[in-house]
Amino acid sequence: MSQAVQPSLLEKWFRSLLGSKTNSEQQHSVTNVQAAQPSPSSHTLDQISSVKADPWWMLRKRAEALVDKVTDETELIVLSGSRDGFVRERALQRLQHSLGPLVLSAAIARLNDFQPEIRAVAKAIYSAHLAKGQVSDFLACMDAVCALQDKTRLDHSALLEQTADLLLQADEGVLLGRIFLETHDKSARLILRWMLARLDKEEVVRLAMSHANPVVRLLAFGTVPALEPLARLALVRTGLDDRYSALRSAALRLVLDSELPSAEKLELCVRRLLDTSGSVRQTASWYAAKSGVDVSAHYEAEAVREDLTSSQRLVLLGEVAKRKSAIATELATALLEHPRAVVRIAAFKVLLRSGGGNEAALLNKAWRDTSSKLRTQVASLVGRDMVLDSESLHEMASSAWMRGDTHVAARLSDNLGSWGKLILDLKLLQHAQTRERALRQIEAINFPQNWLCYSKPYPRDQQQIKALLEIDTVRTDLSGYPNVIDGLDRSGCWPGST
């Protein structure tokens, strides 16, 4: 038995349109419908042809009708940022014959629109502002203008160059220079490139050297070698006193490459031997040593100066310590009483690393210092740059916990092993101010099969633990932690264990 042929999807669609009528009925129905329809007017034919040419014709007309009802320019600017592309396009078309910073800002925002028709209208508005010399409008929108340098859909470099030509006219360059000093990051760098390409380079560099952004100052300073010798030398001297170390380093290298006499170069380098930047000091000391100066002796001579700043004293201490000068210990000892904590920290580090044998006295002095940062920094040296015996370490850690200096106490305790920390906790159980903290530490290991069950202390540590467990109050405090007692018993530390 043959199977019935299944109708195709297209046939099903036609049948759904025509219903279940017979062929003759269907033909008759179509004839009646055609007879009932009026002949289309010319307006209807225009609409049909428009829809065929533009499938979005109805949506476009609806958007245009909506926007055309708006008469306020501010509302049109708001509509230019609509989510509907037809609304954005029509709003910009309505703004095409207007000028002003708000209109320009709206056009700039649409220069990277994903619709090419909208970009074209926005570019026309931007170009109209350029053609009519709307300098004040561009100055008011400088952040948005400079953001166009980040290429997205289109390259706006041609528009930006035209904008620069307009803004850097003879009477307008001063205004842009003021805005330049207030801008930052990419905007400032773009304006700097504009000014260097169109204005006097020396004046531009002088202006840029007062900019707050060090990267902008460094970029401007990069053009100094192309200037005349006199202008170059004046700017180099300015660069040597800049706050940015990379710029000072570049300025010093230019000094060494300049036409200055050797004596003047040496004088400038000697002044930089106490610079806070290591790269500047390295260049300066290299040229000074090359010129016959004993740099180590120079640093020793500088130690007696009374007019040195805190930063210079810090640099001086580091240099004499690095060169293992004979005055390093004496200078560091004197700086232990310096009012600034950062200088005292450096002095403690120099003395503790030198290994003079008085580390305990120095550490005790450090623990009494008023600066918590200093105490923490010195505590971090223990176990890293210096080694303390177990007894001293226990004593210092215990004292730190007793006086509530938790940062120092925690760093010192970290240098104790697991058994050493347990000994410290057993000692702290005997003092009211540290008893709660010690109980929390013991509670943390009160679980079955803890590490006490699988390790053995050194004989000396075992003797200390046994001695501490002979104290009745210590055993009473541990009675609430059976797993700790079990571990101590297995390790042979609990009284009566074998």
Query: In the prediction, which pLDDT does 56 show?
Result: 67
Among 39-48, 134-143, 183-192, 294-303, which stretch is predicted with the lowest mean pLDDT?
39-48
Question: Does residue 12 surpass a pLDDT of 90?
Answer: no
Model pLDDT for residues 442-494, shown as the tens digit of each residue: 999 999 988 988 888 999 999 999 999 999 999 999 999 999 999 999 888 89
What is the rounded end-to-end Cα distance, in angstroms, of the chain? Answer: 98
Candidates 374, 372, 427; CA nearest to 396 is 427
Following DSSP, what letter does each residue of 393-450 receive, concatenated? Answer: HHHHHHHHHHHT-HHHHHHHHTTS-HHHHHHHHHHHTTSHHHHHHHHHHHHTT-STT-
Percent of the chain that is helix, strand, coil (3-state, to 5) = 70, 0, 30
Mean pLDDT of the chain: 85
Question: Does residue 209 surpass a pLDDT of 90?
Answer: yes
Candidates 434, 402, 489, 414; CA nearest to 426 is 434
Candidates 200, 239, 196; CA nearest to 217 is 239
Radius of gyration from C-alpha coordinates of the chain: 42
Query: In the prediction, which pLDDT does 53 show?
Result: 54
Query: In the prediction, which pLDDT does 45 show?
Result: 41
State mean pLDDT over 224-231.
88
Q: Which residues is 386 bridged to in the sheet? A: 382
Where does residue 105 rank: exposed (0-12), middle (13-18), buried (19+ CB within 10 A)?
middle
Question: Does residue 277 surpass a pLDDT of 60?
Answer: yes
Following DSSP, what letter does each residue of 164-182 receive, concatenated? Answer: HHHHTSTTTHHHHHHHHHH
44: its two tokens: 């209807």
Share of the chain above pLDDT 90, in %: 53
CB atoms within 10 A of CB 386: 16
Question: Does residue 14 surpass a pLDDT of 70?
Answer: no
Strand locations in 247-307 (E): none
Question: Does residue 330 surpass a pLDDT of 80?
Answer: yes
CA dist 232 and 217 (Å) reads 15
Give buried/exposed letters for 135-150 (b at 16+ CB in 10 A, else e).
bebbbbbbebbbbbee
224 contacts: CB under 8 Å, gap ≥ 6: 205, 232, 235, 236, 239, 254
CA angle 305, 372, 329 (to 5 degrees): 35
Query: In the prediction, which pLDDT does 27 show?
Result: 47
State mean pLDDT over 185-193.
89
Reduced to 3 states, what is the DSSP secondary structure of residue 128? Answer: helix
Query: In the prediction, which pLDDT does 174 show?
Result: 78
Share of the chain above pLDDT 70, in %: 87
Domains, the chain, ordered by start: 54-199 (1.25.10), 215-293 (no CATH), 437-498 (no CATH)
372: its two tokens: 């918590």
484: its two tokens: 């700790």
CA dist 378 and 375 (Å) reads 5
